Amino acid sequence: MGPKQNRILGMDRADFTLFLKRYGIVFIMLIMVAALAVSVPSFRTLNNAVSIMLQVATNGILAMGMVFVITAGGIDLSVGPLLALTSVMCGQIFDWQHGNVFLACLIPVLVTTLFGLINGFLIAYFNIFPFVVTLATQLVARGLAYLISGGYQKPITNLSFISIGTQRIFGILPIPGIVLILVTILMYILLHHTKFGRYIYATGGNINAAKASGVNVMSVRMMSFVLSGFCAGVAGVILTARVSAAMPSIGTGYEGDAIAACVIGGTSFAGGISTIPGTFVGIIIIGLIYNGMNMLQISTYWQTITKGLLIIGAVMLDMYVNKRRK
């Protein structure tokens, strides 16, 4: 094959593959934004942008914890039910403490972080498959949510707590969106600019090589699940404040959206490959799917199908890029 045949858009194949890996998902997002802006005039409003940010905040915070787990070579299916457990615990604490917002936010987050610690401990020290462990704790968390609540949802009337999910700073920026941005910045620093982040990549990329290099892979894997549990608690508080109710049924399927955001954003299921900016773009793309299709009055069934096709496309792109690297 001649040099001209081995070039695409003025780049050689290696450069094109790297460009596709780094920026392909951003172009997909920009194409979606442009298409929706042209076809739906109301899409271009500030209120709609705020609506998208509110819509993706919960799943986005979950995804920021999930990306650590998947990068380290695991998976966490328990985060959806942990949202429900957080929600009913918030309601119970308000009953016990008569409006103590601080405890209603803190205690559920500590409990979900403990769940993450248990997940990580069982996986790291007993070498049980992450799918099996987190599937089991998913059932435990959902069961506890129904047990604590008696199966009934309970309205939350504390205005200070509700404002966490509904109030806008300067009348524009919603608190859930601000929390998502702060969590994203924190996780970006942690994954891309700390020794722990390098250990996450090393553990997911080649666990045996990481061990040989002196990395405490058990501790690293365990801490990735702790982060995921922590993010589930924060997301649960935000979601509970938004719906103004303690509900044992919320969070169903949220783990799927969190995983989808990671995969669409370039996180490899094989481990060792991910970026926080890519995950954030994946979150926005999922929000655009929901928001745009609702505006176009397209059935929610098609939203699910579209999300599934995007995941397949993202996985195929990941396989293609990794194959070209070998």
Average pLDDT of the residues in 104-116? 97
Q: What is the pLDDT of residues 143-202, one digit of tens each?
A: 999 999 999 999 999 999 999 998 888 878 899 999 999 999 999 999 999 999 999 999
pLDDT computed for residue 309 by the predictor: 85
Are 139 and 84 within 8 A, CB to CB?
no
Backbone angles phi, psi at 245, to 5 degrees: -160, 150
Q: How far is CA 7 from the centre of its chain?
A: 36
Length of the chain counted residue by residue: 326
Cα 257 to Cα 233: distance, rounded to the nearest angstrom? 16
Per-residue confidence at 5, pLDDT binned at 50, 70, 90? very low
According to the per-residue pLDDT averaged within each range, which of 12-16, 93-97, 211-215 is highest? Answer: 211-215
Q: What is the pLDDT of residues 34-87, one digit of tens each?
A: 999 998 888 888 889 888 999 899 999 999 999 999 999 999 999 999 999 999
Q: Does domain 10-36+46-325 have CATH number 1.10.3470?
A: yes
Of 15-24, 119-128, 247-256, 278-287, the poorest mean pLDDT is in 15-24
Helix axes 13-39, 300-325, angle to 10 degrees: 160
E strand or H helix at 12: strand 11-12
Please indicate, yes or no, whether the overall pTM of this predicted structure exceeds 0.85.
Answer: yes
3-state SS class at 2: coil
Cα 147 to Cα 16: distance, rounded to the nearest angstrom? 54
Place of tokens 């509904």: 166
Average of per-residue pLDDT values in the chain = 89
| pLDDT: which is higher, 155 or 320 | 155
Structure-token pair, residue 18:
């790297």
